[in-house]
Structure 1
Amino acid sequence: MIEADNSKGQLVCIIDADYVLSDKEPLIRLWGKTKSGRSVLILDRTFDPYFYVLPKPSADLDKLVEAIKAMEIEGSKPTRVEIVKKNLYGKEYDFIQVFSNNPTDIPKFRDTVKHFDGVKEEYEYTIPFYRRYIINKGIVPMSWVRVFGKEIKTNADMDLSIEAEKIESIKEEEISEYPSLHILAFDIETSQAEGDEIIMISMMDTKDFKKIITYGNKASNVETVANEEEMIKRFFQLVKEQNPDMIVGYNTDRFDFQKIAEKCEKYKIPIILGKDDSHMIFRRRGRVSAARFRGRMHIDVYDFIENILEDSLSTEVLSLDRVARELLGLKKEKLSWKEIEELWKKGDIKTLGEYCLHDSLLTLKLAKNLLPQIFELSRVVGQTPFDASRMSYSQLVEWLLIRAAFNSNEIAPNRPKYDEMMRRRRAEPYTGGYVIEPKEGIHEHLALFDFQSLYPSITITHNISPEMVDCNCCEVETKVPDYEHHFCTEKRGFIPIVLENLVRRRIDIQKKMKKLEPKTMEYKRFNSRQYALKILANASYGYYGYPGSRWYSRVCAKSITAWGRYYIKNVMEFAKKLNYEVIYGDTDSLFIKIKTKKAAKEFLDKANAMLPGVMELDFKGFYKSGIFVLAKSGVAAKKRYALIDEEGNLTIRGFERVRRDWSKIAKDTQEKVLLAVLKEESIQKAVLITKRTINKLKSGKVKMDDLVIYTRLTKSLSQYEQVGPHVAAARKMKERGITVKEGYIIGYIITKGTGSISSRAEPVSDAKDYDPDYYIHNQVLPAALRVLQGLGVTEEKILHSSGEQSDLTMFKKK
């Protein structure tokens, strides 16, 4: 007997979960680690898969139960059939719960049962078995459990395997840290010259192991094998020897493991990278097929960044180089695919090896930086890091709600069928947030306020949930502004309860953080958790209106925006009553002209005193001045402004400076123009800056990196009817053997020559020159004039003036 068998049990942090069939019955496997670093496999045979059947009101319940018990599909029969009381959209019904001893029977049983007389609908038949298990058992991945059971022997490469008799979840407050995990990062290099072969693999881990493997030429820092096949086998062998808990990579789902899988199929090599003898499989996760191996978690850092972090990053592209620069302050060694080809041809394996290993180093550092966020997201949603790191916002919200539904005895509604999803997509858009057009020009002494988590706060305050719409149980005192709908005030809705729990947990964590030093691990862990809670709460509004949502409600979505418009208008009117000028307002934020910070905070206190429930206005900042500009149509542009605070820091929204589809030279010029206007109050300097940039472009002295324009491919190349510059460049990349898919961000430069702009768009690595006229008239001038046009500056003045002195007095709004 072992520690797991005594009264204390074995303390284990659950890292991953899956199931296998053992003697034709499901065996749940939980993969974890102890505090001392021992790897543990927990086996549980006591849980059966199931789904629910909702009978029609007219159905004979007993006859329907007997019919379900009697059905037999391909030799399989239900193991149990029970009548249970469950809630659906807040109303209690008698459901029939149908059990099996094989998860693969569930869809077969459902397909048969749906044709039975008396069956109205079936539910929860698409929930993966291992997810069903961790939800029902209250197990939270990356959290701790206490396991009681017996030690057994398995084929898994684990320190300890336990046949569980009982598993108890440990409260988060008791143990909040994670165990120490052994993480291994890897990277591959390929060569088109060698027929699209993998020419090198590098590895680096958290235990100071590092290795570069190649074939052909030798170098002191590289292990050389006979050929590509032997290199891949050696890579698998080294993974097995190092035995990490986790493998991490950058774009490994879409590239590295896809490429490895192609080669293994060619050479008939089994891909065994997990902790048992099972082969690697690809699991569909949204648009991406995720590489999975049992017991050894695979995290593709790129997936998490693309799904969750992209909007918070300033980088235009999500390349390893750009992301590492922004998040780590580290640069990737720069080699174009042509340079890689040349190094390989020359046999300069040492340089190529250093380049490849550096990619593994950056990937490892990125993973260590981001894993706390992934782990906390995993904890909040209650899904494994493998799954949570690959989920979109809507999927994260959905799985949060599915877990909460089980805990509330609620049935999770079904996902919509294709026709219903199309109907939702075709529905007329409802009115969004309220926007008051900004007062064009330069304004001084500005205070910015915004509502703290506006839409989640409205959902909680007004009990906005599908089952609470237009109830009959309470008198209608308050209707949704602009609509005839109301929400129940007698009972709390399912989703408002879930959101309120998120908000309260975040507030509690923020209170704890105030007592901690920011450099401590505990502070960083809490910060990751509060961020996870924040993004889930904020994503909830979008989930109501998402066509694929289980809890879709157009009424809820449009009611939330209606209340949002109501509150922003009320605060604006309140400001006007106090004789403050409102310069601009948009959805959840407003700018007020106000003399001092003290006055701004006094206004904040008064405004919050009149807000109901958890609604709260925040003071975001006080600015020395700001500029609001006109759109091309002649109306003030939504969310296009720049602000400068008392310390001279610039905040930019909506200008080309913060968009990836403009070149760096255009964005840098625009930022310098904004600083000249706001900080130095000089139109003359702004014009001069623009003229100098134009002259530099004409001279041919601009760095090629400053001319790259980035645009995302929103569909596959074959689906584009109109060929824009990014599509033309992407097609050229594909012709040269470079992988290009939907979702990729294409970098290109417009080069000299004849023909259309698109025909002259060259991928960054192939561009030899640039077209000065294009960058002057389509990039730099439009970016500068977006700021200067409202201040009386024309294109003619920039191109041909001598640069006479101009000040901003006449453009400042009193």
Structure 2
Amino acid sequence: MKKREYRDEEEEEEEEFEEGIEENEEKTEEVSIKAETPQNTPPSIVLTVTYDGKAGKALVKLYDPVNDRIYFWYDNTGHKPYLLTNIRPEEVVSKLSKVILHPGFSHIEVVEKYDPLNDRKEIFTKIDAKDPLSIGGRADSIRELLPKTWESRIRYHLCYIYDNDVVPGMFYRIEDGRLVQVPVEVPSEIERFIKRLYSNDKEYLEEAEKWIPLFQAPVPNIKRLSLDIEVFTPQENRIPNPREANYEIIAIGLAGSDGLRKVLVLKRPGMELRPEDLDDLLYDDIEVEFFDSEYDMLREFFSIMLQYPILITFNGDNFDLPYIYHRALKLGFRKEEIPITVGRNEASIALGIHLDLYKFFNIRAIEVYAFGGKYRGMDRTLDTIAHAIIGMSKLSRDKTVSQMSYVELINYNFRDAFLGLYLTTYDDNLVLRLILLMSRISKTPPDDLVRNQISAWIKNMLYYEHRKRGWLIPEKEDIIKAKGDIATRAIIKGKKYAGAIVLDPMPGIFPRVYVLDFASMYPSVIKRWNISYETVKCPNEREQSNKPIPELPHWVCNDRRGLTALIVGLLRDLRAYVYKKLAKSAPSGVLKSYYNVVQSALKVFINASYGVLGADIFQLYCPPAAELTTALARYVLSRTVLRALELGLVPIYGDTDSLFIWNPDENKLKELIDWVDKEFGIEIELDKVYRLVAMSGRKKNYVGILEDGELDIKGLVGKKRNTPDFAKEAFNEVLGLLSDIQGLEDVDKVVEEVRNKVRDYYRRLQRREIPLNKLAIRTALTKPLESYTKNTPQHVKAALQLKNHGYNARPGDIIIYIKTTGKDGVKPIQLARIDEVDPNKYIEYLRTSLEQVLDAFGIEFESIMGSSIIDNYS
């Protein structure tokens, strides 16, 4: 089991808590009899790497998909937690005796490391400890006793992965007690292609040969169980506190990839299920098991859960698993009987791993690069994400789960569990394959991966590469001290330096617009100009004249290849020249599907690689490297625009890595594409063709209609969180009208229909004809009412009004309120009347939702309001 770990929102420092180790010892002792620890095993996939506090060793959990078995392998190499310092061993002994006398101290070694910042080898003192907490995580840890340390904030299980080359998601076998990676057979055609691709570059060829097995190793369909629980709640809109777990769990929905469809139901007084009621079950093959005792129901759930290597939840870290854990304690279970460990921000399971899909789909890189922004701007609920990705929604309900009949409860509960499973099984297990492949790329266990933003993934990937090369992993403050700060001024508020270029759009409505996309612009720039924290402004004085952008003072060393440039460039090449092509040309549909997942996983990494380079939360943050990358990207796009004009093409808009060309001659377009490839070594491709684009004249504000009628709106705003339902409906109806435009001849007619539609919503708001439930705003209460002393948000004002009527809202409760004309400006929906609604406040919601779309078509929202006001008095 994984120890309890502290982490801030960005995972900048991840330290372990001692109480987590104590819980871990109990759990490992209890479940070790259920997971085998053999001397020899068949090929098995590494599910995770963790630390066993009782054994004082790293623990690798493996799963054999053929025989459906979980194996535990404990480190037998003697690997210890450690840190590096530049204090000599004799000084540690003589001047820092507290280190030697520390109860967790093990021994001292002298090691040589290559220091990439200073481009030289250095001697360091390596201090080994008996356990991770002795290195760091407590006020009296060894790290706190030394004036300067390196690599002391790396979580131990990740440190173990780096040092021992245990790649999560890859196949290993235990041979005579040793953990040995299973060789991967690479198809001869891929080997030949890689050798041709890098025929003149030995370094890239050697690196590619190391990486290709990660993508060619099979990604099995691992057995998994999706869980959802329903809890009795006496009050509507109150989310039970999982740490208190005061109310009964009344249903546990279970959906397994092996065909399990089961709901465990707690019997309740006054309720019965007649045999004929089973005809109303949503799924014919649901198995329903009733329990007189909640204790027995949980015991049965634990028994089922332990049969699966992966447990899937949606927000299980924050609710389902903590609730089950604390509820089990209340019911009399001993800690060691509960195969769940609850940490500060996560919950893990005894035998296998827990994947919280809520956290995974909230990772911005996944939303943008893996799923194309399908649910961007929406609430991150199971309902919205499932509907956006798989076209399936939760079951609607008009009563609380506590008021549902058995059949209604079973259907509702199982549907949620099924959605969680289906999100990982649809499209040939796309999501599970993505998770496992990205674990391999980043060297991050899957259960860690789904809980962290991509900055942590890329950090792990690069840390691993440092260790494999014998490089010192620098501290962030050392990089900034060595490289200095930025030299340009940001145009956008909140940014640190000049970013991407956005060309002023040409306002108007344009038919037949081609969009050219610079394939992975920033990664391409990073590779092409050898940008990495150690090569930008390197200490070699002979290289200081090598300034790619004369107006910037930053130089780049070309006497050595930068690690970031090498890895990011390689991943870019593998996606663009190998796996994207294989996804189209593979001989079978199965292979095409798999290679498409590979190129999608690579896309996530390469497109996010620049973003972390320029983020100050990133451990390898280097301001000049990030600034130079954006400057070179601006240079590439500007030169391309000039070349397009020379060829007689008409660019109407450009943004970061894309260029909009109006009604182009396709031969000239091809000539432009060839020129970019030859001039910069950057691939540019036709991304999409709009049958019509409406440009407002403002940057990052346009509406494009694709050839299939789908609308593409830059910066979609209509479905933002807390937007009332009426505004969402208006937005969707307007989009539906616009998608009917076939050409310029349809624009005037459709624009008038849009005006009428918006005018109708405006009139209904003015006349208070829209029902309260469509105007309702829902906001969760995050802290006790009495803690709001400095200011009182609107949902808190509504909660205080409820309190005056006897309802005490608590943290976690959903407050549903209406904006009104009264003194407070809001009322809870339970107390509001339709005649109290403030139309002007809701008209503003209508404006916010629609203004961007209307603006692109030259429709002023005020003009619609003006004509409506005249109509009202005519």
Provide the TM-score with structure 1 as the length reference: 0.81
- Contact 1:16–1:295 (Cα < 8 Å) also in 2: no
Q: In structure 2, how many angstroms separate the alpha carbons of the residues matched to 1:623 and 1:595?
A: 12
Partner SS for 1:208 = coil
Given residue 333 of structure 1, which amino acid in structure 2 is its aligned partner? L
The alignment partner of 2:537 has SS state of coil
Residue 401 of structure 1: which of 449, 462, 466 is its match? 462
For residue 367 of structure 1, what is the aligned residue in structure 2? 424
1:737/1:569 Cα in 2 relative to 1: closer, same or farther (>3 Å)? same
Q: Which residue of 1 aligns with 2:120?
A: 91
Taking the aligned partners of 1:732 and 1:227, their CA distance within structure 2 comes to: 39
The aligned runs of 1:265-280 (5 Å cut-off) are: 265-271=329-335, 280=340
Distance 1:84 1:761 in 2: 66
Answer yes or no: is 1:207 the counterpart of 2:226. Answer: no
Q: Structure 1 residues 739 and 334 mapped into 2: Cα distance closer, same or farther (>3 Å)?
A: farther
- Residue 410 of structure 2 is matched in structure 1 by 353
Matches within 5 A, 1:15-414: 15-21=47-53, 25-26=56-57, 28-55=59-86, 64=92, 71-89=99-117, 90-107=119-136, 121-149=148-176, 164-171=177-184, 173=186, 176-193=217-234, 196-209=247-260, 210-216=262-268, 217-219=271-273, 222-240=288-306, 243-271=307-335, 280-284=340-344, 289-308=345-364, 309-311=366-368, 312-314=373-375, 316-336=378-398, 338-343=399-404, 348-369=405-426, 370-414=431-475
**1 CA distance for matches of 2:303 and 2:342?**
21
- Correspondence 1:567 to 2:636: yes
1:692-749 deviation per Cα after TM superposition (whole angstroms, max 9, x unaligned): 44456567776878656688999999579555556667889997767639xxxx8967
Shift of residue 148, structure 1, vs aligned partner:
0.8
> Does structure 1 residue 480 correspond to structure 2 residue 544?
no
Match of 2:758 among 690, 694, 699: 690
CA distance in 1, matches of 2:515, 2:694: 13
Superposition pairs of residues 537-686 of structure 1, within 5 angstroms: 537-611=606-680, 613=681, 615-629=682-696, 636-657=697-718, 659-660=720-721, 662=723, 663-672=727-736, 674-675=738-739, 679=743, 680-682=746-748, 683-686=751-754
Residues 53-110 of structure 1: CA deviation (Å, up to 9, x unaligned): 3326xxx665557878995445444245233333343432111222234333333999
Say yes or no: does 1:511 pair with 2:524. Answer: no
Change in 2 beyond 3 A, CA 1:428/1:438: closer
Q: Give the SS at the match of 1:513.
A: helix
Aligned length: 748
1:555 counterpart SS class? helix
Sequence identity percentage: 23
Kindly state the Cα deviation for residue 641 of structure 1 after the two structures are TM-superposed.
Answer: 0.1
Q: What per-residue deviation string (whole Å, max 9, x for no partner) do you get for residues 246-291 of structure 1?
A: 211111111112222332343342355xxxx78532345xxxx110
- Report whether the alignment pairs 1:11 with 2:69: no
Quick check: 1:664–1:708 contact (8 Å CA) kept in 2?
no
Distance 2:165 2:801 in 1: 52
Consecutive unaligned residues in structure 2, runs of 5 or more: 1-35, 187-212, 236-245, 276-286
- Deviations along 1:436-487, one digit per CA (max 9) or x if unpaired, are 2212222334222232111111111111112112232436243435311111
Distance 2:655 2:768 in 1: 42
CA pair 780-412 structure 1, distance change in 2 beyond 3 A: same
TM-score by length of 2: 0.76
Given that 1:248 and 1:364 are in contact with CA atoms closer than 8 Å, whether structure 2 keeps it comes out as yes
- How far apart are 1:499 and its partner, in Å? 0.9
1:555 CA drift (Å)? 1.2
CA distance in 2, matches of 1:466, 1:509: 28
Q: Tell me if structure 2 keeps the 8 A contact 1:48–1:99.
A: no
One-letter amino acid matched to 2:629: I
Secondary structure at the counterpart of residue 618 of structure 1: strand
Distance 1:710 1:587 in 2: 36
CA distance in 2, matches of 1:200, 1:729: 32
Secondary structure of the residue that 1:549 maps to in structure 2? coil
- Kindly provide the amino acid, as one letter, of the partner of residue 250 in structure 2: I
Q: Is the 8 A contact 1:664 1:707 kept in 2?
A: no
Is the 1:412–1:550 Cα contact (8 Å) retained in structure 2? Answer: no
Q: Whose strand fraction is larger, Structure 1's or Structure 2's?
A: 1
Q: Are the aligned partners of 2:302 and 2:339 in contact in 1 as well (CA < 8 Å)?
A: no
Residue identity matched to 2:648: N
Gaps of 5+ in 1: 150-163, 630-635, 805-814
CA–CA distance in structure 2, aligned partners of residues 772 and 678 of structure 1: 39
* Displacement of 1:14: 1.4
Aligned to 2:280: none
1:762 is displaced (CA, Å) by: 4.8
Residue 198 (structure 2) aligns with: none
Decide whether aligned partners of structure 1 residues 29 and 621 sit closer, same or farther in structure 2, where only a CA change above 3 A counts: closer
Judge conservation of contact 2:762–2:843 (CA < 8 Å) in 1.
no
Contact preservation (8 Å) 1:215, 1:224 = yes
1:428 to 1:619, Cα distance in 2 relative to 1, 3 A: closer
Per the TM alignment, residue 795 of structure 1 is displaced from its structure 2 partner at its CA by 5.2
